Amino acid sequence: MNRLRLNVAGYSLVTTMLVITIFFLLGLTTLTVAIQQARLTTVRVENVESFHEAKTALNEASAELKAELSDEQFLVSHGIFTPSQWDAFLGINEDAPGPDTMAGKLKARYGVNMEDVSYRLYNIPTNSVFLRALDLSKPFTDGHHERTVKRRIFLTNAPSFLKYALGSKETLVLNGGVYVEQGNVYAGRSAYISNAANYVKKGGELTVGPIDAGLPASTNDSIWHIHDKLLFSCTQTSSCWKAGNGAFQMEDGLFDEGWPANAVRPLIQQETDDFIDIDFDRTLKDKLLQAAGLSPLSPETQQSYIERIENDRQPPLDLARELYQEGKLARVETNAETPYEQSINQMPKDKPLWLDAEGEEITLYRDIDVQQNGQNQWLIVNGDLHIEGPMKSTATVRGNLIVFGDLMLTGNLALNASIYVTGKTAIYNSHIDGTDGKGLVLLSKGTLDIARINEFQNPSESPNLKGYFYTDSSATIYAVGSYLYIEGGLFARGNGTLAPDADRSGLVINAFRGRIEPKDGEPGNFIPSSDMQKSRLIIKYNPRVLVEQGTGLPFVNRISLVADRLEVK
């Protein structure tokens, strides 16, 4: 009996020890897992902190550089008069930038590296322009790997309007479902939005769309810079506007201050940077003089350049005629048997070309090549110009143009060009794409009118209009039956002139979000959509469209900074 009791007690002891061991192992395992999780959490926290530290350093470096450039007398106060002096100030193209250069300062203060990619990536002629593309970067630790956070910035003495996806220095009117896929919006005075969509029938009848066209929208990182946040909205569809007296007229009593309560509101704030404007005529004279070989950077031609560009009594057309008489422009000889395109393409391109139509209209139907050694040369046209591409193929235009008159673009066109127009510009029934990996920068002194582009086509995944479109006056854009996916931007400075078919000065956009079924060549059936990518006008701001045009861009006497998106590699 005692032996049985001893055996039971022995079994109990063994069982107890086994249970204790199991619990000990479980506790040890739990402790080990907890320690490992704590270590992983610590590593993750350190990785996140490392990334945010690098990101913050990059933002602070960009902000310091931007502040440095904000001085209105920046170039003069730093003694920068040539591109080589500009590079020396930045400290780029040096293995070890000095401590007094911007690259040296940003490296010492923030650990940020600065690399010049101007020529390597964009073929920018850095010996003759101030435009620079720079990569700011800083490494950070991600687990056992070292990664890099990077932001590409563009330093340019270009005017402010080139920073925005769309905008106006005066009034901005956005009717319907325009979508800003990338980039910021600017309104120098006030902005108006509505869910209406106006369009003009082929017979000229002004028509307000009968159905909710959607409200303007943008991505979360898009900033709407509106003066004093003066934004007004109307959601009464066909009552927001009325058509009469040859123009669409705003029903002011139906526009309430602020964004509609039931709509997604973008980030709206006052622009803190000064708006750097351009003088269109002065800019045009600058292009004429530099195209003719007279540069402010050359000691031999500097004085002549300054005297001529400062002569306010001489309009640009008179300057062009004078340069031709001096032999600095080559006249394009034409006759009834030879097409203009053939004459232009066969001409040597060692000088700018002067095509004098004496104020009459010239129509170009075929490819135009105004390049020398792969660089855009200038074609100067005295008269109205119509570039009419074919409907079943594409006409290619390479080279920069100055048009002393009106410009019309129609048909299928592929352009690598900067175009300056002293009159009005109209783009109708057209598909405009880039060529050679580049696009179009178009600047018009007169009004800009874009309509009937890719009519009744359904939205696609890729842009169908590559370029930046600016007018010194006002502009009206129609995308109801049309479909425009613009890679670049739209800006109407506004000068008091009313936009085409509108009662406001500035930029007026009419867009529908959804599908349109035609009836007798006009919008017949409206099928709305809540999908932003179904908008019939999408703006995707891309600063590369601007950088690619190099010397064709308008320039001012100040340097500004345009930042691209943050990248992690």
The one-letter code for the residue type at 363 is T
Instruction: Return all residues near 477 (Cβ < 8 A) that are at least 6 apart.
Output: 450, 451, 484, 490, 507, 508, 509, 510, 511, 537
Rounded to the nearest angstrom, the gap between the alpha carbon of residue 367 and the centroid of all alpha carbons in its chain is: 27
The one-letter code for the residue type at 435 is T
pLDDT band at 2 (very low <50, low <70, confident <90, very high): low
Written in H, E and C, the secondary structure of 269-322 is ECCCCCCCCCCHHHHHHHHHHHHCCCCCCCCCCHHHHHHHHCCCCCCHHHHHHH
pLDDT(261) > 70: yes
Percent of the chain at pLDDT > 90 equals 50
Element (H, E) at 290: helix 280-291
SS3 453: coil
Please give the average per-residue pLDDT across 149-156, as a whole number.
88
87, 103, 152, 183, 438 from 134: Cα distances, Å:
11, 10, 6, 19, 19
42 φ/ψ angles, rounded to the nearest 5 degrees: -60, -45
Q: What is the mean pLDDT of the chain?
A: 87
Give the C-alpha separation, 115 to 123, whole Å.
15
Helix axes 102-110, 83-90, angle to 10 degrees: 20
Please give the average per-residue pLDDT across 363-384, as a whole number.
93
Give the C-alpha separation, 187 to 493, whole Å.
10
Give the C-alpha separation, 268 to 550, whole Å.
32
pLDDT band at 83 (very low <50, low <70, confident <90, very high): confident
78, 159, 494 from 279: Cα distances, Å:
24, 10, 13
SS3 357: coil
Question: Regarding predicted confidence, which is higher, 40 or 475?
Answer: 475
75 φ/ψ angles, rounded to the nearest 5 degrees: -65, -40
Using left for φ > 0, alpha for ψ between -120 and 50, and beta otherwise, residue 484 falls in beta
206 φ/ψ angles, rounded to the nearest 5 degrees: -75, 125
Please give the average per-residue pLDDT across 226-239, as a whole number.
92
pLDDT(8) > 60: no
83 φ/ψ angles, rounded to the nearest 5 degrees: -60, -35
Instruction: Return all residues near 233 (Cβ < 8 A) that are at least 6 apart.
Output: 192, 193, 194, 215, 255, 256, 258, 259, 260, 263
Say if CB 241 and CB 251 are below 8 A apart: yes
Element (H, E) at 528: strand 522-528
pLDDT band at 24 (very low <50, low <70, confident <90, very high): low
pLDDT at residue number 42? 46
Give the C-alpha separation, 373 to 540, whole Å.
31
Cα-trace Rg, the chain: 30
pLDDT at residue number 45? 47
pLDDT at residue number 107? 92
- pLDDT tens, 400-445? 999 999 999 999 999 999 999 999 999 988 888 888 888 888 999 9
Question: Can you read off the two tokens belonging to residue 81?
Answer: 């008069």
Question: Can you read off the two tokens belonging to residue 310?
Answer: 């400062």
pTM: 0.79
pLDDT at residue number 126? 84
Instruction: Return all residues near 121 (Cβ < 8 A) that are at least 6 apart.
Output: 133
Element (H, E) at 147: strand 145-156
Burial of 307 (0-12, 13-18, 19+ CB in 10 A): exposed
The one-letter code for the residue type at 464 is N
Rounded to the nearest angstrom, the gap between the alpha carbon of residue 197 and the centroid of all alpha carbons in its chain is: 24
- Give 140's strand partners: 147
Please give the average per-residue pLDDT across 97-111, as a whole number.
91
pLDDT at residue number 190? 94
Indicate the range of 29-38, 100-109, 495-504 predicted with least confidence: 29-38
Question: Can you read off the two tokens belonging to residue 75?
Answer: 């170039």
Say if CB 63 and CB 105 are below 8 A apart: no
Indicate the range of 45-49, 102-106, 250-254, 380-384 predicted with least confidence: 45-49
- Give 528's strand partners: 514
Give the C-alpha separation, 387 to 546, whole Å.
22
SS3 5: helix
Instruction: Return all residues near 505 (Cβ < 8 A) that are at least 6 apart.
Output: 170, 171, 474, 494, 495, 496, 497, 498, 499
Residue with tokens 């600065």: 114
Nearest to 491, CA basis, from 506, 505, 480, 503: 506
Nearest to 351, CA basis, from 372, 365, 333, 330: 330
